[in-house]
Amino acid sequence: MVTTATVNIQLDAEAARIYQRASSEEKQKMQVLLSLWLREFGKPTKSLHSLMDEISDKAQLRGMTPEVLGYLLNDECPRIT
């Protein structure tokens, strides 16, 4: 059995009206969906190191090499004005 807790949240008037007019079954569905959605905010995000590794892997798959990166970082590429 899942333990539940009651919280008060502020909604815009239209969302509040929709919730208030919903049937008990619809309200229960909304509560489950909101619970699932809020749990996503509690999940840890990727670390910066992990994100940088992922970006590096994708760049290499797309043809990025240390030489190309050096060229770009050394400001040797043509500027668009």
Query: Residue 78's pLDDT is what?
Result: 58
Query: Residue 19's pLDDT is what?
Result: 95
Q: Does pTM surpass 0.75?
A: no
User: Could you read off the pLDDT of 24-59 as tens digits, one per residue?
Assistant: 999 999 999 999 888 888 887 888 888 889 888 998
The band of 79, judged by pLDDT with boundaries at 50, 70 and 90, is: low
- Report DSSP letters for 3-71, one per residue: ----------HHHHHHHHHS-HHHHHHHHHHHHHHHHHHHSPPPPHHHHHHHHHHHHHHTT--HHHHHH
- Domain parsing of the chain, residue ranges: 1-43, 45-81
